[in-house]
Amino acid sequence: MTCWMNLGQNLKVNAKKFPTTVALTDRSCSFTYPQTNERVNRLANNLLGLGLSKGDRVAVLMENSIEIIELYLATAKTGLVIVPINFRLVGPEISYITNNSDAKAFVVHDEFAAEVDRVKNELVNIAAANYFIVGAQREGYRPYETLIDGGSAAEPEIAVAPEDTWILIYTSGTTGKPKGVIRSHASHIAFYLINAVDFGFNEHDFCMNVMPLCHINSTFFTFIFLYIGASVYVHPAQSFRPEEILEIVEREKVTFISLIPTHYNLILNAPEDALKRDVSSIRKLLCSSAPVRKSMKECIMGYFKGVELYEGYGSTEAGIVTVLKPEYQMKKLGSIGFETLGTEFVKVLDENGNEVPDGEVGELYSRGPMLFDEYYKLPDKTAESFVDGWFSAGDMARKDADGFFEIVDRKDNMIITGGENVYPSEVEEVVGGHPDVFDAAVIGLPDDKWGERVAAVVIKKPGTDLDEDSMRIYCKDKMAGYKRPKDIIFIESAAMPRTATGKILHRILREKYA
């Protein structure tokens, strides 16, 4: 019988082991492990008091905050399933995820409530009394603190097994709709234990969380520290001001941050006074979501003197698959490293499922204990993503003679802009829905600030006068800001590159307009 404790169960143990250690802190308050455990128990019991039971879904549309972390912990204790929704999404996108996940309760930050109100009448599974709000009060919502006040401080009497579902998180869809990724407690426990060893984390660390807690990156590289009894500073994801980040690092003696290249670029170009902050407490840094140029690596390690820089490759489905460790940062430029501890090798396969020779390009597959269970309600998509138990996120890669991997391209042409994944098909569905659009292709173009920016190559219907402003207005309320095309390029039908079967060649468009 497997007896590993999930994050919620482990919190009870840490409350006894670390009675004076601060578990969570932010701009305005701090809670020790015992205080956090008591609040989470009250929250957990009050959630069950709503009539929810093990397996029921709780949707959250929230900024980084202590409250969203409490909800992750409370669902872990009760066997409820948390459904984190990206706070950049708009009404129709929120409606789809909420209904597809079968959520029965909804917790929202006040700044996002207007988007929920747009589609409230479409949310078919949530009772009127099960909407809660953090921040300024609003009609139709109950205050979040009512889920804390009056609740029993006793541990919930719910048996939660490692294989039970904890998180249902949605990824951008390659067919126009996001896919729900079912992740178990066991997959996260494996991540915490494996990476505590692989990265050398311990209970004396102090993690600063900046990445959005609606992303898998933060459910990994924030909660690992709560699992091992360390401290976490929670910082709003939408409020990345390098001056403030560096001030917090100096004040709190932060030892670890996970960031994307855009964040590092902002820090390295901060005002001179900000760069004079004492950042010597930083032991380790992680960079993910996009490759890091040699010049940026040199600047990062020059500023954070003595730091150990890691780069990670992974996905919502697979967890972290490979890591480029500090000693290889300059030796293996462009590489994503080799298998992380616990990953059962990584394979690069051709279209027939055969391993390709070193140096040749194929599709990257992995298998290990951090792997997800399935795509919710999509058995065919689940089956398509596996070959004999090995999973692929659709990335094309090659392996060198030393066993290091390099991502060559994204099989499905995924765009990564500011750390957010955007699939062209999802944007093409919206752009192509304009009555004056004959056809459209969406590509990623290089961008100094965001890594990539979204561009739409559009063929207008004959006789129409569609322009860039009209298209931007049309897209505004139909998808999140980071998905909306920044560049809109109008071309004639004959100029659209296609295969013999009529499929658009995105690669050719990228080469032409980059």
Helix or strand holding residue 67 (H, E): helix 66-78
Backbone dihedral region of 342: left (phi > 0), alpha (psi from -120 to 50 degrees) or beta? left
Non-local CB neighbours of 473 within 8 Å, separated by 6+ positions: none
Q: Are 322 and 337 in contact (CB under 8 A)?
A: yes
- The one-character DSSP state at 504 is B
pLDDT score recorded for residue 292: 79
| Distance, CA of 366 to CA of 410 (rounded, Å) | 16
| Distance, CA of 224 to CA of 233 (rounded, Å) | 13
Neighbours of 345 (CB within 10 A): 12
Closest listed residue to residue 61, CA positions, set 20, 138, 114: 114
Structure tokens belonging to residue 209: 């969380």
| Distance, CA of 497 to CA of 507 (rounded, Å) | 9
Q: What are phi and psi of 474, to 5 degrees?
A: -65, -40
Over residues 117-127, mean pLDDT: 97
* Confidence category of residue 14, pLDDT binned at 50, 70, 90: very high
Q: 454-488, pLDDT tens digit by residue?
A: 999 999 998 999 999 999 999 999 999 999 999 99
∠ Cα 320 423 236 (to 5°): 60
Q: Are 311 and 324 in contact (CB under 8 A)?
A: yes
Q: 138-150, pLDDT tens digit by residue?
A: 999 999 999 999 8
| Whether the domain at 307-412 and the domain at 415-513 fall into the same CATH topology | no
Match domain 307-412 to its CATH number in 2.30.38.10, 3.30.310.50, 2.102.10.10, 2.60.120.1570: 2.30.38.10
Structure tokens belonging to residue 403: 């066993």
Closest listed residue to residue 376, CA positions, set 189, 112, 99: 99
pTM more than 0.95 = no
The rounded percent of the chain whose pLDDT value lies above 90 is 77
Residue 175, pLDDT above cutoff 60:
no
Q: 317-347, pLDDT tens digit by residue?
A: 999 999 999 999 999 988 999 999 877 779 9
Q: 252-293, pLDDT tens digit by residue?
A: 999 999 998 888 988 998 999 999 999 999 999 999 877 777
- In the structure, how many helices (H) and strands (E) does the chain have? 16, 28
Q: 402-453, pLDDT tens digit by residue?
A: 999 998 766 667 888 998 878 787 888 899 889 999 889 999 999 988 999 9
pLDDT score recorded for residue 501: 44
| Distance, CA of 456 to CA of 233 (rounded, Å) | 39
Non-local CB neighbours of 495 within 8 Å, separated by 6+ positions: none
Residue found under tokens 């992680």: 286
Say yes or no: domain 415-513 is CATH 3.30.1200.10.
no
Q: What are phi and psi of 453, to 5 degrees?
A: -125, 155
Q: Are 304 and 285 in contact (CB under 8 A)?
A: yes
| Distance, CA of 342 to CA of 451 (rounded, Å) | 30
∠ Cα 210 130 102 (to 5°): 75
Higher-pLDDT residue of 400, 175: 400
Residue 1, pLDDT above cutoff 50:
no
Residue 396, pLDDT above cutoff 90:
no
Give me the residue spans of the domains in the chain.
307-412, 415-513
Residue 172, pLDDT above cutoff 70:
no
* Confidence category of residue 502, pLDDT binned at 50, 70, 90: low
Over residues 40-48, mean pLDDT: 98
pLDDT score recorded for residue 174: 43
SS3 285: strand
Lowest mean pLDDT, pick from 104-113, 452-461, 496-505: 496-505
Secondary structure E strands in 114-222: 131-134, 142-143, 165-171, 179-184, 206-209
